[in-house]
Chains A and B, each alone.
Chain A
Amino acid sequence: MIYISTAMYIEAQEFIKKLGLKRDNSINKFEVFKNDEVVLVITGVGKVKSAVALTYLLARQEITPNDLYINFGVCGTRDRQVSQGEVFLCNKIMDNDTKFTFYPDILFKHPFKEAGIETFSTVVVEEKAQEPLVDMEASALYQAASVFFKPHQIFFIKAVSDYLNTENIDKDFISNIIEKNVDKVIEWLNHIKDNFHYGREVLTQYEEELIKKVSENLKMSATMENEFKQLIVYYKLLDNDITELLNTYLKVECKSKNEGKMHLAELKRRIVK
Chain B
Amino acid sequence: MQSLKEGLLNRAFSHIYVEKRAMEYNLTKEILKRLEGSKIIEIEHYKDVFSRANQDFYLQKKSPKLILAVKNNNLIYKGAEVCEDFGNKHFYYTSIMMNCIYDCEYCYLQGMYTSSNIVIFVNIDDYFKEVEELLKMHPVYLCISYDTDLLAFEGLTNYVREFVKFAKVNKDLTIEIRTKSANFSLIRDIEPQDNVILAWTLSPDGVIEKYEHRTPNLKRRVESIKEAVDRGWRVRLCFDPILYIKNWREEYRVLVEEVFSKIDADKIYDVSIGLFRVSKDYLKRMRRQRPDSIVLNFPYDSVEGVCSYDKELSENMIGYVYSLVGKYVDKKKIYI
Contacts and interface: CB of A to CB of B under 8 A. Distances in A.
Interface of A: 91-92, 101, 103, 105-109, 114, 116, 146, 150-152, 191-192, 195-202, 227, 230-231, 233-234, 237-238, 268, 271-272
23 contacts: A91-B41, A92-B43, A103-B17, A103-B41, A103-B52, A105-B55, A106-B65, A107-B10, A146-B54, A150-B54, A150-B55, A192-B8, A197-B3, A197-B4, A198-B2, A199-B1, A200-B2, A200-B290, A200-B291, A202-B291, A227-B299, A231-B299, A233-B291
A231 to B, nearest CB: 5
A101 B48 contact: yes
A234 B39 CA distance: 41
B299 A114 contact: no
Interface stretch (B27-35, B56-64, B82-90, B91-99): B56-64
Given A199-B1, A200-B2, A234-B298, A108 B291 contact: no
Given A101-B43, A108-B9, A108-B10, A151 B4 contact: no
A91 B55 CA distance: 15
Contacts of B14: 106
Interface string B37-53: 00101011000110011
B15 interface: yes
A238 B299 CA distance: 13
B313 A150 contact: no
B297 interface: yes
Given A151-B52, A197-B3, 12 more contacts: A91-B39, A103-B17, A106-B65, A107-B9, A109-B8, A150-B54, A152-B56, A195-B4, A195-B5, A200-B58, A231-B299, A268-B299
Interface residues of B, number: 39
A106 B2 CA distance: 19
Contacts of B291: 200-202, 233
Given A91-B41, A227-B299, A106 B15 contact: yes
B41 A92 contact: yes
B292 A202 contact: yes
A41 to B, nearest CB: 22
A234 B41 contact: no
A109 B14 CA distance: 10
Nearest to B294: A237
B310 to A, nearest CB: 8
B299 A198 contact: no
Nearest to A153: B56
B292 A200 contact: yes
B55 A237 contact: no
A196 B297 contact: no
B299 A234 contact: yes
Given A101-B48, A197-B2, A227-B299, A109 B10 contact: yes
Contacts of A106: 10, 14-15, 39, 65
A237 B292 contact: yes
Given A151-B54, A197-B3, A199-B2, A107 B60 contact: yes
A71 to B, nearest CB: 18
A271 B62 CA distance: 32
Contacts of B62: 107
Contacts of A238: 294
Contacts of A91: 15, 39, 41
B4 A237 contact: no
A196 B8 contact: yes
Given A200-B291, A230-B297, A103 B49 contact: yes
Contacts of B294: 234, 237-238
A220 B222 CA distance: 49
Contacts of A152: 55-56, 59-60
A109 B3 contact: no
B9 A198 contact: no
Interface in B1-26: 1-5, 7-10, 14-15, 17
